[in-house]
Structure 1
Amino acid sequence: MEEGYSPVRKWEDLDNDILVKILQSFDLFELSAGLAHVCNMWRLARCDQLPWKKLDLSVLQSNFIRISRKPYVYVDSPSQEKLTRVLNIFLNLSHGNIQILILHYNLYVNDNQLTFTAERCPRLKRLVMPAWEKLEKPAIRRAFRKWKDLESLTMPSLEKPAYVIKKIARSCKKIAELKIMGPCDILFASTLVSFLPNLKVLSVRCTELSKSALVILLEGLKQLKVLNISHCIITEDLPPPAPTKILTELDESILEKASRLDKFLTCMSDSCIMCQRTRNDEGFMRWYKYEDLWKVDEVKSLAI
């Protein structure tokens, strides 16, 4: 070997397992763009199943306005088209290997996008999808039929939850964790007890929660191990003409029912900023005011 000569190794010579580890350090938008053009080995490694187990689109939001009629939200065409392009790229690259899918609180998926996603994510185990306003019931039913391995779901509150929860429960028998982003009234609590009685973990933080609904959850979900009601406004209905009472602390009857749980997470402090925000928003959090706080949860497995 001549003096001063340094052998040069090519990227194609790098072991594929090592290359996959390197690619895992990039975010998915980088993986879908310029990295593919480095060489054939990078393109092959990019399609390896390891980098694609989790698809986090929590940085992507819809451009929308609220409207007075159903579906109560209007998403402009460029925003919808952008989401369709993103889903096409990522879901085709993933080759069906995605197990965790995270969507932003203000990312509104339509029926066609949900169906496309469900067909290309048959192994999904965790879904974070807090915005369902643009979805019709048949599309939700078709999607969840594909997700038989689903174990964890983050969803919004629903006015008429029975149909949707029943269809989810029928198809997704492995669901053990549920997070509801919105009020949990007596109807919603009763629906969970009826159709998802085997829930192990439930979070209904930062919302209005009636004492009656809380009792239904504690008494009806016999397998429940963890319940998070942190920063909730706990209300109690009194006989008319008395107004609804807001509790400042949980009474002994509630604490007794919750004593069987492994974790009962609560916070009702006047000095707590999140409790103050829930009260200021009257029990229906306006998450757009608080940046990424919608991702937070006291239950580690439900946080993002």
Structure 2
Amino acid sequence: MEESKSLVRRWEDMEIDILVRIFKEFDVIELTSGISRVCSSWRLACSDPLLWKTVDLGILKSNFIQIPTLPYIWVDDRSNKKLTRVLKIAMGLSCGSVTCIIFHVNLYLKDDHLIHIAERCPRLKHLVLPAWDLITKGGICEAIRKWEELESMTMPYICSPPYIMEVIGMNCKNFTQLKVMGCFNVLFASSIAKYLPKLKVLSLRCSTLFMEALILILDCMEHLEVLNVAHCLFIEDLPPPASRRIIRELNEAIIEKAKASRLRTFFYCHKESCVLCQRMVNDNGSMRWFKYEEGSWRNDEVSSLAY
């Protein structure tokens, strides 16, 4: 009887590598729910860099209400408190090993959230941040200045893109991939051409895309290798008294221009039966992802930008 008792192993005696393999099956909410406080062995396992290369907050959403004035959303304080708690624990356990962080399309950060991440993730390479209504110009710029190793970013449309393109160009020398979710106009295109001339991959998937902006990208981005304009709502500016019109399909001249360019891969969609293209039309060029399949906002024809 005494011998059998001595063979009983406790959870805290389990090998660390076994615990890490188990914890790799947990999502970030589960990892930050308190398992690191069970014992010293579990704490050590929860701090293993293998668990924190990617912090996926795609399952965490804000409870928000759209409002007619800036910042156009009001976020329930309970959402902010939950996000703050998860980030604080995750950043503490990760010990600076995070290289990729993914935020839900409807998870609204504030400046203090972003700066907290930037200070504790100096090696960040990939950032998926498709919503930043509550983040100020100063907040995003301060964060990006700390991410010198940043290589790719998913971002929303912003009214004044030059400042963000400039700060990326000045501080992130390895930056080569950009995905824009929203509206892509001439100002956006010219900002990229000016400040990110060595960009290699650009995805505008499910965006409102102005034809003049597309032509500018094709003409000016000499180092661009991959361009994705699949499921975009194409807009053409017209001379007065008309203003603009929607183009359902790319014309052959643009397609041939893209094929004749330096691009290695050009993704576009010309199927009238395409569900995503129809959704873009129904949503007036601003995809309402919350109405559709959960996680569909993560997809991209460019594999390196699909999360």
Bigger shift: 218-227 or 5-14? 5-14
Q: Give the aligned residue type for 1:164.
A: I
Counterpart secondary structure, 1:224: coil
Residue in 1 that maps onto 2:296: 293
1:180-195 equivalences in 2 (<5 Å): 180-195=180-195
Alpha-carbon shift at residue 6 of structure 1 (Å): 9.0
TM-aligned CA deviation for residue 2 of structure 1: 10
Matches of residues 28-107 of structure 1 in structure 2 within 5 Å?
A: 28-107=28-107
Structure 2 residue 121 is the aligned partner of structure 1 residue 118: no
* Structure 1 segments unaligned to the other structure (5+ residues): none
Aligned residue for 1:284? 286
Kindly tell me the number of residue pairs found equivalent between the two proteins. 304
Distance in 1 of aligned mates of 2:213 and 2:58:
30
What's the C-alpha RMSD, in Å, of the aligned pairs?
2.1
Shift of 1:287: 1.4
SS at match of 2:183: coil
Q: Which deviates more, 220-229 or 16-25?
A: 16-25
Residue range with higher mean Cα deviation, 194-203 or 289-298: 289-298
For residues 127 and 135 of structure 1, the distance between their equivalents in structure 2, rounded to whole angstroms, comes to 15
Which amino acid in structure 2 is aligned with residue 89 of structure 1?
A: I
Q: Secondary structure at the residue paired with 1:234?
A: strand
Where 1:98 maps in the other structure, the secondary structure is coil
- Asked whether the equivalents of residues 64 and 75 of structure 2 are also in contact (C-alpha less than 8 Å), the reply is yes
Contact 2:32 2:86 in 1 (8 A): no
> Aligned-pair distance for 1:134?
0.8
In structure 2, the residue matched to 1:130 is 130
Letter in structure 1 aligned against 2:216: I
- Alpha carbons of structure 1 residues 93 and 5: separation in structure 2 relative to 1, 3 Å: closer
Q: Which amino acid aligns with 2:226?
A: V
- Tell me: CA distance 1:70–1:13, structure 2 relative to 1, closer, same or farther (3 Å): same
Alpha carbons 1:219, 1:257 under 8 Å: kept: no
Query: Do 2:52 and 2:94's aligned partners in 1 also have CA atoms closer than 8 Å?
Result: yes
Identity across the alignment (%): 51
Alpha-carbon separation, structure 2, partners of 1:49 and 1:256: 47
1:95-154 Cα shifts (integer Å, max 9, x gaps): 111111001111111111111111011110100011111111111111001101111100
Distance apart, 1:12 and its partner CA: 4.8
The residue that corresponds to 1:224 in the other structure is: 224
Any stretches of 5+ residues in structure 2 without a counterpart? none
Equivalent-residue separation in structure 1 for 2:6 and 2:232 (angstroms): 65
Aligned-partner residue type, residue 304 of structure 2: S
Residue 160 in structure 1 maps to residue 160 in structure 2: yes
Separation of aligned partners in 1, 2:297 and 2:137 = 25
Distance 1:166 1:34 in 2: 41
TM-score w.r.t. structure 2 length? 0.92
Deviation at 1:48, TM superposition (A): 1.3
Report the CA distance shift for 1:166/1:5 in structure 2 as closer, same or farther (over 3 A): closer
| Mapped contact 1:201–1:227 kept (Cα < 8 A) | yes
d(CA) in 2 for partners of 1:2 and 1:105? 57
Normalised to the residue count of structure 1, the TM-score between the two structures is: 0.93
